[in-house]
Structure 1
């Protein structure tokens, strides 16, 4: 036994010596390394990602990787490959030797893991991550994919209009960032979608609650941070082409991507075109005007030296989105048959009709970074243009609004032993202008927001903490209504974690504020997309939120679980509430009001199990339970999502050659009935959804995904559906099949 152990150690050292020899021969590389497994064998095709510089490369068949520049010390390298534990390495200079352990159970999306995040350290903050690498071919939409995470829901109708809900909060309380730029696309209304697609995205980071001080204190409900696919260190151009078909909307979609780098110059280029008709409901009729069309283009360029990097990004999305189930009068008296058709007439049913939203979004960002071994200076400039035209008539728009949002941000990141210190400031200017239209819901207005923050992180030997504070001052002005007011407040966060014997526990506290938005202050008019007359309130004050979040994780080779209870208290909660009055005897009038005390509490849990006898079989299940109450009136909060249980079975067949099938999955979601409703809100029934998916790899670099959604053809109306109150409720799509093809080169 002793001799055998000595031989194994000798073999492992010999492998390392041979691999190190090959690395030493690569004289062109200034930062290089090797990745091996516990037996000392090299691991091929491990992604090596430098988070600070947004650059990725992959190990070769000898487990080697290299970067053409010297990477500064204290940079974080993330090593990731499916089937192995993710490892985060803090660079201290010299060559890098990494050992990855085989992993049977993965909790990367919801667990407390070693992972690089733009929003902070996931061990001391409540950050969850989801890969979007192949989202175009594996999901019907970007929001649908994120919806699989516990505690996440969607408001919308079909695939054309969807937006994210985090623990029962949405709209202005959930702030979206795209590559560091805040997305302001009329997100205050439920008939406006997220504003972009999964084009070129690699990952989304999500904070449930208000723990993100670096990106503003107004994310009372949470913050969603979308990240582009990183630049690749390779002189050989790479990319992909992909196409898909989904017969629920008779939707065709196409994407392409291209990456290239030479002499520390990097470029990424992407394009997309989607076309969808009205979706088919379970009774085989089609919901009129649920059609949509999307065109997208984005590119990123970067230039890097040993100590500097500049990244410029541009993105344009042009959408034509039909507004389905649009009706006048008492919505409860509407006959759904009057809103549907018995057949599709193609190509006519791809064309825009009325009412329709015409949306154009432009995003520009410039990020300059200066590195040294102990510090990182980041200067960020961003500009986002949203132009929304909403037509109910054919000639003149009902709304014609252009929003310009500009952000300047500076951050200094300092490393000292086991401490990381961030200090920075930001300035944001938001301008809302109306053009000639039949209606004006919100007047011309602008806001200026300046903020300062400081964050301290400490991690050492399985123990860590986070402390942070932020101050914001916002000025809101509108000459149209002779209004000017300022809103100021502090936000803070504190977190502590401990790791011992495969157990990891984290407790966080966060406080944040949200100042009133233009729509909440100034609205006065008919909002056709929501079929109501809205009246703002000039006396609204800051919302103030306090949240406690506890997460505990335990994992072994074959079983893992996460439990995550939380409690949130919101003071001066801004809400839009129905009245008994009607505009033109047709549209119900809604007023913006504030409730002094609102609480939201619940818990989320995840389990992951795979049997020892069949390592390729994985069972996963998540639970989301939420209760939300308005203590002022002792009633439930409007639009509280129903509780859910989400389950999946995955059979990984990548190492086999069974009909070229690489993965088989079955997904089930049980949604409880929701009887905890407020005034003028109807309850919702429980329902089951069952989806099936097959993934093929018939040829090298080609992936085919085929699936069936809503296998049981269940007729269901989600509690958060924006057209739930129309008639008896307008159902979501019925049974449908989809097929996608992607070729990587």
Structure 2
């Protein structure tokens, strides 16, 4: 590791001494050669941008020689990205023509390693904007992520959710934050995704094995949170957003300010959330202790020089998640349930009371891009400190006692060398590594996973070929992991120490062919792997929240999978269709299954608890997704339907795997207007979400009936203010979500929820 850092420092010193400044300028027009005022020009490698003036002109100075991916965008037009090679010490001039678009179906994406427009990708990358949260009345980022076909969520109430991609969750789906893998305690379903919208611009999702680019744990895919762009050069701007939610009487406030000069940029973002317990059936039933208090801040500073750019960011976030206590839920003789939490007198309680989870994150990331002739080097470094504790009830103390207290420290590096393009071939050579240290506090009463260290290193090569309408990606990767745990055997814990090593060779091949202008055919074959997590290896005790005794197996083998995907995309001026089918073959799939054994627990309210054993079998998951969008020439009208289906079985007996999403159908009708009297960007949206009956369940799982929810929203911009109103589950439907961990209590999902959001934009460069 030390040698790598010394090499990078040496390269930077050489490049800084020889780099000479260049300038990029140009004009942006539409297809009628009319200048576009306010179009955005953004250089991905430098996190640097500007906007066009009244004449459509722009200029960016102090650029070093090199190859840049430059993105041009304008509201209501297709985004365009071009590669520019600055080789001379003078000015390069561009003329950019943008075409009008009724919807944005050709997003620029970065998660597939190469920065491309969607049409140029060999693999579909789904994109969600942060602003969609206020448009759809989302409690958390997961409420918009799970609207993507093939993506769902395991929920512990509306505020604790974790993603499922094509049936895979937990340590099989990797969360990435601006290029750095996010490490938290993903081994338990009661632990949410652990990421909020703080400082995020958009979220990109890759469905299917992504280990080639991102390493272990990306068997099901990745969810990539991408930081907001820097402010345009010479600008200082910001916004303040506040949202109120009626169902759980909660609110979110987010403030953002950022600025940029020619050679540096900066930004600060703060966030606060307070939610009470949620209700259903009007305000008849309050689901106890499903509340949340969360606050955090993020700041960054970046510099741009002739040799490239670097950005340093720091994030702090603290959250208190209430835990539903099953003893408060009692079933009456008529089959209905009641909340016996008689100590809570408030209708909308927000105070943190045991039992609850406390989670604190501190993250420091640096992202450096160095221009080396026609190639470039990118080095991303990250340090994360994730502190999680679980507090259980104790008579006379609202905060209870410290049941479990774990600190996970992670250090990561991600080094990529983008070689010069050679005869239509673009190649990346890279290496990634991670060191994790997991430690339990002696102040806690027990431990669920052992103290442990995990070290990863991986090397990969990826090549993309593109010629006219044909392109393909091919690559290979080698990973090695060492895992060592610390022995603890006493009257409370029985966990002997173990040492394990895992390695894997993975690969990917994907191809895309554009037939004429409207049809793109894609196919891919990819593989991934993960090692068993600490809970699956070493679990050996009672879990208070679920009142079960879990047993792991230290001799588990690694999981590895291969997936075949076929995708068809058709788009025309008034109609677009995307359809996909896949089959994922998983070797050594690990799952938790009940036994017929009960053991003494030492818990007064449950003297004996059932034993659950982690098991390992081969499995197959197959399914499909489709999205149909109709957008007639009348720009104000748009209709979209999205659907997904999957079947997941163990191959040894063809039985269904547990906790798998049901088939879903989304219908959305949107009316939008650029101008309506004094208002701009006016929209009205109405739609339904239908979850079909889930009958493909494991032997001990509960089947759930079908249901349909009606949702709507409207919004507009007036001067510097943006207003949004959203209503979810308008008919206050009582429904049981098959992915809810509350279904065993027969607790239903949230009832009617109305959210009101106001955002104020600030431009500190306006003339007085």
Question: Scaled by the length of structure 1, what TM-score is found?
Answer: 0.91
SS at match of 1:409: strand
Tell me how far 1:340 sits from its aligned partner.
6.5
Matches within 5 A, 1:151-230: 151-230=150-229
Residue of structure 1 in register with 2:613 after alignment = 591
Q: Hey, what's the Cα distance between the residues in 2 that align with 1:102 and 1:235? A: 28
**Cα drift, residue 321 of structure 1:** 0.4
Name 1:288's counterpart in structure 2: 288
Distance 1:689 1:671 in 2: 9
Go from structure 1 to structure 2 and tell me whether the alpha carbon gap of 1:294 and 1:137 turns closer, same or farther (over 3 Å shift): farther
CA offset digits 1:717-740 (Å, max 9, x no partner): 2111011112xx211110121100
Give the C-alpha shift of residue 202 in structure 1: 0.5
CA contact (8 A) 1:176 1:183 kept: yes
**Which residue of structure 2 aligns with residue 708 of structure 1?**
727
CA offset digits 1:360-391 (Å, max 9, x no partner): 01111112221134111112211111101101
Deviations for 1:287-343, whole angstroms, at most 9, x for unmatched residues? Answer: 110111000100111111022211111111100000125349999999631367899
Q: Aligned pair 1:740/2:740, yes or no?
A: no
Deviation string 1:248-268 (CA, Å, 9 cap, x unpaired) is 110011110010122411101
Decide whether the 8 Å contact of 1:288 with 1:341 is kept in 2.
no
Contact 1:562-1:605 at 8 Å conserved across structures: yes
Distance in 1, Cα, partners of 2:269 & 2:645: 39
- For 1:660 and 1:310, the matched residues in 2 are separated by 37
Correspondences of 1:379-390 after superposition (within 5 Å)? 379-390=379-390
Partner of 1:11: none
CA RMSD, 1 decimal: 2.2
Match status 1:407 vs 2:412: yes
For the residue of structure 1 that corresponds to 2:144, the secondary structure is helix
Aligned to 2:554: 538
Counterpart in the other structure of 1:425: 431
How far off its partner does 1:78 sit?
Answer: 1.9
Q: Tell me the distance in 2 between the aligned counterparts of 1:467 and 1:659.
A: 49
Aligned partners of 1:744 and 1:174: how far apart in 2? 35
Bigger mean CA offset, 388-397 vs 121-130: 121-130
Return the alpha-carbon distance in structure 2 between the equivalents of residues 340 and 283 of structure 1. Answer: 19
Superposed CA deviations along residues 594-650 of structure 1, whole A, max 9, x for unmatched, are 00x2111111111110233x3210001111011111111220111110101111111
Deviations 1:668-704 (A, max 9, x none): 111100001102101111010111111022x312101
| 72-81 or 222-231, which deviates more | 72-81
Is residue 287–residue 325 contact of structure 1 (8 Å, CA) maintained in 2? no
CA contact (8 A) 2:432 2:458 kept: yes
Q: Tell me, in whole angstroms, the C-alpha distance in 1 between the residues paired with 2:189 and 2:548.
A: 12
SS at match of 1:141: coil
Q: Partner of 2:175: helix, strand, or coil?
A: strand
Change in 2 beyond 3 A, CA 1:71/1:572? same
Q: Normalising by the residue count of structure 2, what TM-score does the alignment of the two structures yield?
A: 0.88
Measure the CA separation in 2 of the matches of 1:332 and 1:540. Answer: 43
CA distance in 2, matches of 1:124, 1:118: 9
1:452 corresponds to: 459
Where 1:415 maps in the other structure, the secondary structure is coil
CA contact (8 A) 1:217 1:491 kept: no
Structure number having the greater strand percentage: 2
Aligned pair 1:82/2:81, yes or no? no
Give the 5 Å matches for 1:290-689.
Answer: 290-327=290-327, 336-338=337-339, 345=346, 349-393=349-393, 394-417=399-422, 418-435=424-441, 436-480=443-487, 481-501=496-516, 502-584=518-600, 585-595=607-617, 597-612=618-633, 614-657=634-677, 662-689=682-709
The SS at the match of 1:636 is coil
Cα distance in 1, alignment partners of residues 470 and 345 from structure 2: 60
Distance 1:118 1:562, change over 3 A: closer
Given that 1:472 and 1:488 are in contact with CA atoms closer than 8 Å, whether structure 2 keeps it comes out as yes
Q: CA deviation at 1:658?
A: 7.0
How big is the shift at 1:415? 2.2
Structure 1, unaligned runs of 5 or more: 1-27
175 and 671 in structure 1: CA distance in 2 versus 1, 3 angstrom threshold = same
Q: Any idea what SS the aligned residue of 1:521 has?
A: helix
Conserved in 1, the CA contact under 8 Å of 2:586 and 2:620? yes
Conserved? CA contact 1:661–1:694, under 8 Å = no
Alignment-derived partner of residue 20 in structure 1? none
The answer on whether the counterparts of 2:287 and 2:339 sit within 8 Å (CA) in structure 1 is no
User: 1:95/1:706 Cα in 2 relative to 1: closer, same or farther (>3 Å)?
Assistant: same
- The 3-state SS of whatever aligns with 2:415 is strand
Deviation at 1:131, TM superposition (A): 1.8
**Using the alignment, how far apart are the partners of 1:91 and 1:563 within structure 2?**
34
Report SS of the residue matched to 1:392.
Answer: strand
- SS of match in other structure, 2:675: coil
Distance 1:710 1:101, change over 3 A: same
Report the counterpart of residue 19 of structure 1 in structure 2: none
Hey, what's the Cα distance between the residues in 1 that align with 2:83 and 2:340?
58
Distance 1:58 1:339 in 2: 59
Q: Which moved more, 1:558-567 or 1:63-72?
A: 63-72
Matched, 1:68 2:83: no
Contact map agreement 2:622 2:648 (CA 8 A) in 1: yes
- For 1:395 and 1:671, locate their aligned partners in 2 and report how far apart those are by CA, in whole Å: 38
* Partner SS for 1:540: coil
Other structure's SS at 1:350 match: coil
**How far apart are the structure 1 equivalents of 2:112 and 2:314?**
19
Cα 1:97–1:353 shift into 2, 3 Å: same
- Asked if the contact 1:242–1:740 (Cα under 8 Å) also holds between the matched residues in 2, the reply is yes
- Whether the 8 Å contact between 1:155 and 1:721 is mirrored in structure 2 is yes
Please state whether the residue corresponding to 2:674 is helix, strand or coil. coil
Q: For residues 493 and 372 of structure 1, do their structure 2 counterparts lie closer, same or farther at Cα, with a shift above 3 Å needed?
A: same
Kindly state the Cα deviation for residue 35 of structure 1 after the two structures are TM-superposed. 1.4
SS of residue in 1 equivalent to 2:63:
coil
Shift of 1:344: 7.2
Deviation at 1:133, TM superposition (A): 4.2
Q: 1:562 to 1:340 in 2, by over 3 A?
A: farther
SS of structure 1 residue aligned to 2:695: coil
Q: Distance in 1 between matches of 2:664 and 2:609?
A: 33
Deviation of 1:346 after TM superposition, in Å, equals 6.2
Q: Secondary structure at the match of 1:677?
A: coil
3-state DSSP class of the match of 1:41?
coil
Deviation at 1:657, TM superposition (A): 2.0
User: Quick one: structure 1 residues 454 and 659, their matched pair in 2 at CA, closer, same or farther if it must change by over 3 Å?
Assistant: closer
Partner-residue secondary structure (3-state), 1:214: helix
Alignment length (residue pairs): 708
Alignment of 1:86-125 (within 5 A): 86-93=79-86, 94-108=92-106, 115-117=109-111, 119-120=113-114, 123-125=121-123
Structure 1 CA distance for aligned equivalents of residues 675 and 251 of structure 2: 32
Query: For the residues of structure 1 that align with 2:693 and 2:428, how far apart are their CA atoms?
Result: 45
